[in-house]
Amino acid sequence: EQLVRPGRDPRDELPAPILRSDVLSMDDLLPGLQLDGTVRNVVDFGAFVDIGVKQDGLLHRSQIPHGTVLSVGDVLTLEIMSVDKERGRISLGWVGE
């Protein structure tokens, strides 16, 4: 496929980042806050999601509805479950697609 369309940037197919002016850092994240995020990596134990701060959040597989298959680039509505600023970890819960 790459040979058919040389010079094409595959990132053009990904959705644009979701930017919020009220959430700029981990200090702005509070449990219960709902926001949209873009799946950046899918792993055995869940998915890492870009929610607009420096650190990606983890949506653990126990939070993903049974039978749901996530792919890089999927946009999800999520809820902040917990924030560990010392360890730089953000736990996310499923709200929907």
Its pTM surpasses 0.85: no
State both tokens at 31: 């449990």
State both tokens at 49: 């999601």
> Per residue in 25-68, pLDDT tens?
778 888 999 999 999 999 999 999 999 888 999 999 999 999 99
Give the domains, in start order, of the chain with CATH numbers.
33-96 (2.40.50.140)
The mean per-residue pLDDT over the stretch 15-24 comes to 55
- Angstrom distances, CA of residue 44 to CA of 48, 61, 62, 64, 71: 11, 8, 11, 12, 13
Other CB atoms within 10 Å distance of the CB of residue 63: 17
